[in-house]
């Protein structure tokens, strides 16, 4: 393949402050790549408006009229980064040979997009952008990320450490991804499962160019919890183990109390009794909660609801348009 068509997918949620600059910088990347004959002239930047409440969508529309590289889709409501990204990937799959996903805030180093393309030309199907350092992140974010990757590896989920969603995927890798039908898709966990030849490209992550993070702590925690429970039953097994352990412990305590009784010492430990009841009750509630979490997952998966709805598409397919011939 000499000149592959590249689509850069950019999910945007209330990114009016950064949009213009992002569009400008990505456009110059595409122009350069095209000049160096790395990509075809039909390459595009696909902005996915994830139900923004600010001026993001009008800006995308405006830009698409004056910039031949820029196109966009508008989702009917905010569905979150992962689903917005998925919407973009599914749309991009049909119009390109390879797709690069990147955040709208220019935290990822766009100069390595060229390295992604070099790897693609060398025959790699997936190229992961991996952060060299996390100096710009807060201490808390760094520590929690490190703990998260370690925990995930322990329970058997193979994530690429320090890789977020800045990556290149070939058309056939995207085809494979579309066979993963789960509603609760954890992209970073699923993509390594696809296989194919993959490479890593290191880069420095920068500060957000403007605006604020759309990933507050609460969202980050639920993202991590979702990642774990979508991929592994290890937590539920842990609860079973704790349950078994506390059951054994209570057997020992019963034996001890029985012997005390035979020896004529009456037990007067109401406190310890109450503590045990609370302890066992707590463990049981925790176990039930966890099982509920998995059942909830099953419930959501069986509903097979759409993950997103495209409200407006600036580049509709010809074959989607009804024509008489």
List residues near ligand UDP by CB under 6 A.
11-13, 15, 50, 78, 80-81, 84, 103-105, 107, 213-215
Q: Which stretch binds Mg ion (CB under 5 A): 79-87, 96-104, 125-133, 297-305?
A: 96-104
Residue 215 interacts, among Mg ion, ligand UDP, none and using kind-specific CB cut-offs from 5 to 8 Å, with ligand UDP
Comparison of 38 and 70: residue with beta carbon closer to ligand UDP = 70
230 scored as a contact of Mg ion (CB under 5 A): no
Rounded least distance, CB 66 to ligand UDP, Å:
22
Rounded least distance, CB 296 to ligand UDP, Å:
21
- Which residue, among 94, 42, 159, has the nearest Cα to 317 in the 3D structure? 94
Please say whether the beta carbons of 144 and 215 come within 8 A.
Answer: no
Rounded least distance, CB 160 to ligand UDP, Å:
16
Comparison of 13 and 128: residue with beta carbon closer to ligand UDP = 13
Residue 176 interacts, among Mg ion, ligand UDP, none and using kind-specific CB cut-offs from 5 to 8 Å, with none
Residue 144 structure tokens = 């929690």
Return the number of other C-beta atoms located less than 10 Å from residue 133's C-beta.
Answer: 12
107-126: contacts with Mg ion (CB under 5 A): 107
Between CA 289 and CA 103 the distance in angstroms is 34
Residue 183 interacts, among Mg ion, ligand UDP, none and using kind-specific CB cut-offs from 5 to 8 Å, with none
Write down how long the chain is. Answer: 325
Residue 17 interacts, among Mg ion, ligand UDP, none and using kind-specific CB cut-offs from 5 to 8 Å, with none
Comparison of 213 and 284: residue with beta carbon closer to ligand UDP = 213
97 scored as a contact of Mg ion (CB under 5 A): no
Please work out the total of residues on this chain that contact Mg ion, with binding judged by CB under 5 A: 3
CA distances (Å), 53 to each of 47, 77, 106, in order?
A: 15, 9, 21
**DSSP character string of 118-173:** HHHHTT-SEEEEEES--TTS-HHHHHHHHHHHHHHHHTT----TTEEEEEEEEHHH
Between CA 24 and CA 46 the distance in angstroms is 13
Residue 4 interacts, among ligand UDP, Mg ion, none and using kind-specific CB cut-offs from 5 to 8 Å, with none
Rounded least distance, CB 35 to Mg ion, Å:
29
Binding Mg ion by CB under 5 A: which of 49, 105, 109, 162?
105
- Phi/psi at 50 (nearest 5 deg)? -90, 65
Rounded least distance, CB 84 to Mg ion, Å:
13
- Given CA atoms 149, 7, 30, 81 in this order, what sign does their dihedral have? negative
Rounded least distance, CB 208 to Mg ion, Å:
5
17 scored as a contact of Mg ion (CB under 5 A): no
Comparison of 104 and 173: residue with beta carbon closer to Mg ion = 104
Residue 30 interacts, among Mg ion, ligand UDP, none and using kind-specific CB cut-offs from 5 to 8 Å, with none
Between CA 294 and CA 26 the distance in angstroms is 41
Please say whether the beta carbons of 30 and 43 come within 8 A.
Answer: yes
Indicate the burial class of 276 (C-beta count within 10 angstroms; 0-12, 13-18, 19 or more).
middle
Rounded least distance, CB 246 to Mg ion, Å:
43
Secondary structure percentages of the chain, helix, strand, coil, to 5: 50, 15, 35
- Which residue, among 89, 112, 45, 162, has the nearest Cα to 310 in the 3D structure? 89
Task: Report the interface residues with Mg ion, using CB under 5 A.
Answer: 103, 105, 107
């Amino acid at each position: 393949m000499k000149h592959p068509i590249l689509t850069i997918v950019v999910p945007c949620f209330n990114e009016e402050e950064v949009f213009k600059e992002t569009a400008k910088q990505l456009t110059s990347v595409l122009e350069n790549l095209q000049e160096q004959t790395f990509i075809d002239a039909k390459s595009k930047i696909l902005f996915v408006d994830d139900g923004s409440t600010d001026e993001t969508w009008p800006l995308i529309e405006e830009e698409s009229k004056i910039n031949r590289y820029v196109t966009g889709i508008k989702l009917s409501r905010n569905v979150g980064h992962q689903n917005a990204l998925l919407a973009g990937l599914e749309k991009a799959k049909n119009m390109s040979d390879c797709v690069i996903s990147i955040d709208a805030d220019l935290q990822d180093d766009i100069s390595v997009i060229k390295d992604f393309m070099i790897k693609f030309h060398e025959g790699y199907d997936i190229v992961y952008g991996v952060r060299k350092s996390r100096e710009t992140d807060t201490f808390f974010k760094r520590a929690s990320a490190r703990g998260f990757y370690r925990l995930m590896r322990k329970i058997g989920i193979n994530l690429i450490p320090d890789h977020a969603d800045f990556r290149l995927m070939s058309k056939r890798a995207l085809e494979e991804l579309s066979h993963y039908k789960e509603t609760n898709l954890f992209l970073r966990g699923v993509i390594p499962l696809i296989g194919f030849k993959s490479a890593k490209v290191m880069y420095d992550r920068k500060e957000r160019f403007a605006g604020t993070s759309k990933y507050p702590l609460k969202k980050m925690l639920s993202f991590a919890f979702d990642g774990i429970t979508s991929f592994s039953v290890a937590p539920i097994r842990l609860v079973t183990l704790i349950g078994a352990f506390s059951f054994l412990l209570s057997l020992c305590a019963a034996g001890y109390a029985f012997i005390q009784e035979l020896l004529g010492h009456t037990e007067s430990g109401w406190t310890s009794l109450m503590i045990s009841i609370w302890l066992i009750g707590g463990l049981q509630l925790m176990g039930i909660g966890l099982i509920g979490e998995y059942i909830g997952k099953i419930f959501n998966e069986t509903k097979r609801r759409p993950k997103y709805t495209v409200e407006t598409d600036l580049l509709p397919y010809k074959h989607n348009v009804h024509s008489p011939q």
